[in-house]
């Protein structure tokens, strides 16, 4: 058996672990995903195969290795309106504040970093159209970037499976902005056109887009401290004064980078540029 092949029992174990820790369900047929995501961890752990990695997990319940495996399996996981508390915070506090502070220029730049297949950026567009009709006369470009060209191609197409639209997309918005396309659902061109999709590697040399609101949720956790520091420094340069940075609920820039203050919005992970 090759180093990355995985047996049904091993797949079942990982599936159970990921489900238990994250509520994310790995359907049958995702064996390749488990293999490809866990192979680097197996190498890092110094074991010869993904199967041996699973043996190690089984023999050491509750270890930090379990956490690393769950994180590896949940990278790129995205859904429409992921974490409703964040979108509540955007709707009730962040966007109203930015609309007030940017009223003179009527210009609001938004950057969805690590955008994956686009659901975060498109959720924002739908929310803005639904709740902020006053923005119709503004320039509100939304830039969505990801390292991975394949996920960007999917985002560009705007076509989602039933599985993807079942996850957290409010039915009234789905009814308004999606149409059936065979077994899938097609997002309306008006929403797609509001987002500019671009490849960008956060640890590459390309300039970060300037923005008033930056969403970088659940991304920094995958980097070491020095890389986090470098990314946050560049994020701070890209974020205009008074702008907002949204990280994952458990993430913070405060110990690594000056120029941010905590904004007490949602369940944490929200910071303002000062």
Q: Using CB under 8 A as the criterion, which residues of the chain lie in contact with other proteins when the complex forms?
A: 23-25, 79, 81, 84, 162-163, 165-168, 170-172, 174-175, 178-180
Nearer to other proteins, 174 or 256 (CB): 174
Pick the closer one to other proteins by CB: 24 or 65: 24
Q: Is the Cβ of residue 141 or residue 168 nearer to other proteins in the bound state? A: 168
Identify the sign of the CA torsion 29, 33, 34, 39: positive
Work out how close the CB of 11 gets to other proteins at its nearest, in angstroms, rounded to a whole number.
17
231 in Cβ contact with 202 (< 8 Å): yes
Provide the sign of the torsion angle of the four alpha carbons 81, 269, 253, 131, taken in this order.
positive
Minimum CB separation of residue 169 from other proteins in Å reads: 9
- The two counts, helices (H) then strands (E), for the chain are 12, 10
Which residue, 25 or 274, is less far from other proteins as judged by CB? 25
DSSP 67: H
Minimal distance in Å, beta carbon 58 to other proteins?
24
Closest separation between CB of residue 86 and other proteins, Å?
12
> What is the spatial distance between Cα 240 and Cα 238, in angstroms, rounded to a whole number?
6
Tell me how far, at minimum, the Cβ of 238 lies from other proteins, in Å. 31
Which phi and psi (to 5°) does residue 183 adopt? -80, -5
- Closest to other proteins by CB, 187 vs 214, is 187
> Are 169 and 161 contacting, i.e. CB atoms less than 8 angstroms apart?
no
- Tell the smallest beta-carbon distance from residue 178 to other proteins (Å): 7
> 3-state DSSP helix/strand/coil percent for the chain, to nearest 5?
45, 15, 35
Beta carbon nearer to other proteins, 100 or 180: 180
């Amino acid at each position: 058996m090759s180093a990355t092949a995985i047996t049904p029992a091993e797949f079942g174990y990982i599936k159970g672990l990921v489900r238990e820790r994250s509520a994310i369900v790995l359907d049958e047929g995702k064996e390749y995903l488990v293999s490809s995501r866990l192979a680097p961890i197996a190498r890092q752990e110094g074991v010869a195969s993904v199967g041996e990695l699973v043996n190690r997990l089984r023999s050491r319940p509750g270890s930090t290795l379990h956490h690393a495996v769950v994180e590896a399996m949940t990278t790129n996981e995205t859904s429409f309106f992921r974490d409703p508390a964040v979108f509540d915070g955007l709707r009730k506090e962040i966007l109203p504040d930015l609309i007030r502070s940017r009223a003179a220029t009527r210009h609001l730049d938004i950057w969805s970093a690590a955008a994956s297949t686009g659901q975060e950026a498109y959720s924002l567009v739908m929310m803005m159209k639904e709740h902020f009709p006053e923005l119709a006369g503004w320039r509100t470009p939304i830039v969505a970037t990801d390292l991975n060209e394949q996920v960007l191609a999917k985002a560009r197409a705007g076509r989602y499976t039933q599985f993807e639209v079942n996850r957290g997309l409010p039915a009234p918005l789905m009814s308004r902005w999606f149409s059936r396309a065979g077994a899938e659902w097609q997002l309306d061109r008006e929403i797609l056109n509001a987002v500019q999709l671009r490849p960008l590697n956060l640890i590459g040399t390309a300039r970060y887009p300037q923005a008033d609101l930056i969403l970088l949720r659940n991304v920094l956790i995958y980097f070491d401290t020095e890389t986090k520091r470098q990314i946050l420094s560049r994020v701070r340069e890209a974020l205009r004064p008074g702008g907002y940075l949204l990280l994952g609920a458990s993430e913070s820039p405060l110990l690594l980078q000056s120029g941010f203050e905590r904004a007490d919005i949602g369940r944490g992970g929200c910071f303002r540029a000062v």
